[in-house]
């Protein structure tokens, strides 16, 4: 089981060549067994990227989300009180970005590695990452 950072969800859908070989292998293996988690905050991040024209897709936001969910076996993890609590307990090694903190907290809560290319998160000692 793994969790994907938001940019990995987008890259997987639109630019899969950007994903490292190791991460690709883990994503494919987890997808085959239906064990890919995405944090619900990633859905919001994708909506904001599209609204702010930082992500251009030939579909509406709801259509794009339906397409990526149809193509993969994603389980959306909602924010729980435990995840919220974990997200505010990180030291400065995890940046102050709310979405990153919630995604990392979700990884810890579910006890799964995070697939990310974010060097800040890769270098954080408290998060198991794959890249």
Helix 40-51 × helix 61-71 angle, to 10°: 140
Does residue 5 contact residue 115 with C-beta atoms inside 8 Å? Answer: yes
Q: Strand pairing partners for 91?
A: none
Nearest-CA neighbor of 114 among 123, 126, 101, 127? 127
pLDDT digits (tens, 9 = 90+) for 54-101: 999 999 999 999 999 999 999 999 999 999 999 999 888 888 899 999
C-alpha–C-alpha distance, residues 35 and 77, integer Å: 12
Query: What strands lie across the sheet with 74-77, from one edge to the other?
Result: 74-77, 36-39, 2-4, 114-115, 129-130
Does residue 49 contact residue 55 with C-beta atoms inside 8 Å? Answer: yes
Tokens 């060097």 -> residue: 119
pLDDT digits (tens, 9 = 90+) for 15-50: 999 999 999 999 999 999 889 999 999 999 999 999
**pTM check: above 0.85:** yes
Superfamily of domain 2-130: 5'-nuclease (3.40.50.1010)
pLDDT at position 29 is 95
C-alpha–C-alpha distance, residues 19 and 84, integer Å: 29
pLDDT at position 11 is 98
């Amino acid at each position: 089981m793994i969790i994907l950072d938001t940019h990995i969800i987008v890259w997987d859908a639109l630019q899969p060549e950007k994903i490292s070989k190791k991460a690709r292998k883990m994503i494919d293996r987890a997808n085959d067994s239906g064990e890919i988690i995405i944090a619900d905050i990633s859905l919001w991040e994708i909506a904001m990227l599209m609204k702010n024209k930082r992500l251009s897709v030939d579909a509406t936001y709801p259509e794009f989300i339906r397409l990526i969910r149809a193509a993969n076996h994603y389980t959306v993890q909602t924010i729980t009180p435990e995840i919220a609590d974990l997200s505010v307990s990180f030291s400065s090694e995890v940046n102050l970005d709310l979405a990153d903190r919630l995604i990392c907290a979700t990884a810890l809560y579910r006890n799964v590695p995070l697939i990310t290319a974010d060097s800040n998160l890769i270098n954080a000692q408290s998060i198991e990452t794959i890249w």
